[in-house]
């Protein structure tokens, strides 16, 4: 997945002034790019992927089902747009990966014996620190 599955028409872009250093140029140029995409109503994603997006990326996902991704790493607006696209692609690839189901296992007999042996050794060490009982 190297290209975004949705068209550019599905993405909403807005721009703002970036923070940080930049001299006189920072007050004149809106180089920060903000990407918004309505993933909840998108037919491109399955319901499971939509749920994983909300769970794995609460920083980007809103309660209304929108992904809002901002980038202000670069001083150029087009580079920040490309950075937003890359972040969106990473969100989609990570959310589309289905986690492997965990199969519950029981501890082996040997591991139980080792655990009980170490508990017994530790108990002996601690009981050796006690004062002798008065008879």
Two tokens at 89? 């692609």
| pLDDT beyond 80 at 18 | no
Banded model confidence at residue 99, pLDDT cuts 50, 70, 90: confident
Q: What is the pTM of this model?
A: 0.69
Measured between alpha carbons, how far is 62 from 91 in angstroms, rounded to an integer? 14
Banded model confidence at residue 6, pLDDT cuts 50, 70, 90: confident
Measured between alpha carbons, how far is 135 from 129 in angstroms, rounded to an integer? 18
Q: What is the pLDDT of residues 79-92, one digit of tens each?
A: 999 999 999 999 99
| pLDDT beyond 90 at 3 | no
Banded model confidence at residue 9, pLDDT cuts 50, 70, 90: confident
Cβ(40)–Cβ(66) below 8 Å: yes
> Does 37 or 19 have the greater pLDDT score?
37
Banded model confidence at residue 22, pLDDT cuts 50, 70, 90: low
The sheet carrying 12-16 orders its strands as 12-16, 32-38, 66-71
Report the run of H or E that residue 14 belongs to, with start and end: strand 12-16
Question: What's the topology of domain 8-96?
Answer: Double Stranded RNA Binding Domain (3.30.160)
Reading phi first (left if > 0) and then psi (alpha if -120 to 50, else beta), residue 119 is in alpha
């Amino acid at each position: 997945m190297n290209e975004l599955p949705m068209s550019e028409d599905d993405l909403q872009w807005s721009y703002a002034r970036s923070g940080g250093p930049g001299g006189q140029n920072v007050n004149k140029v809106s180089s920060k790019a903000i990407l918004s995409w309505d993933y909840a109503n998108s037919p491109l994603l399955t319901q499971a992927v939509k749920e994983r997006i909300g769970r794995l990326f609460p920083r980007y996902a809103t309660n209304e089902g929108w992904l809002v991704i901002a980038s202000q790493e670069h001083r150029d607006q087009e580079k920040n747009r490309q950075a937003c696209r890359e972040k969106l692609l990473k969100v989609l690839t990570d959310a589309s990966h289905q986690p492997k189901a965990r199969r519950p296992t029981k501890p082996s007999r040997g591991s139980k014996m080792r655990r009980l042996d170490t508990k017994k050794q530790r108990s002996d060490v601690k009981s050796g620190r006690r004062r002798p009982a008065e008879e």
